[in-house]
């Protein structure tokens, strides 16, 4: 009887171990899949009137930590100033951004039109760039050198 119990325990342990391995492998597959993050497409018009179609648009800027160290920031929103408040307008709701250069080294003024037709006047909180992929490769468009960016 004792031998029968040992065989049953051994088989049960094997089945539990096999089940645990299958669960672990299944969880690993799910965890390895990329998140369904939304990508954005836009047509950017620079100060010279040249249009560039950009896929996977992000707003990019680098925060200086020390003389030799920077922290990159990749946002799917535009940080703007309205008075003393900083407003982060998500790409999801933006139809277009019209840029007016400041000319004195400060971030440019922007007019943002939302998908629902609302519009507002702001100043960029950070003099960043719009980055993404064009048909010809990676593209970086400094906001101060843009005339307009229209999201698709």
Task: Tell the burial category of 122 from Cβ atoms under 10 Å away from its Cβ (0-12, 13-18, 19+).
Answer: buried
The predicted model scores a pTM of: 0.73
Question: What count of other Cβ atoms lies within 10 Å of the Cβ of residue 79?
Answer: 18
Q: Rounded mean pLDDT of 24-47?
A: 66
Q: What's the pLDDT tens digit per position in 45-83?
A: 999 999 999 999 999 999 989 989 999 999 999 999 999
pLDDT: is 112 or 10 the higher one?
112
pLDDT band per the 50, 70, 90 thresholds, residue 145: very high
> What single string gives the DSSP state of each residue in 8-19?
HHHHHHHHHHHH
């Amino acid at each position: 009887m004792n031998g029968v119990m040992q065989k049953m325990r051994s088989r049960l342990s094997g089945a539990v171990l096999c089940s645990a391995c299958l669960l672990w492998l299944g969880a690993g597959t799910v965890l390895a899949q990329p998140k369904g993050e939304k990508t954005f497409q836009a047509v950017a018009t620079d100060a010279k009137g040249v249009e560039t179609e950009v896929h996977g648009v992000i707003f990019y800027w680098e925060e200086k930590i020390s003389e030799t160290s920077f922290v990159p920031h990749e946002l799917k929103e535009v940080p703007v100033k309205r008075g003393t408040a900083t407003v982060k307008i998500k790409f999801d709701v933006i139809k277009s951004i019209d840029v007016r250069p400041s000319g004195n080294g400060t971030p440019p003024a922007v007019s943002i039109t939302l998908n629902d037709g609302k519009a507002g006047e702001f100043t960029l909180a950070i003099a960043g760039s719009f980055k993404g992929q064009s048909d010809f490769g990676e593209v970086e468009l400094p906001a101060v050198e843009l005339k307009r960016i229209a999201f698709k």
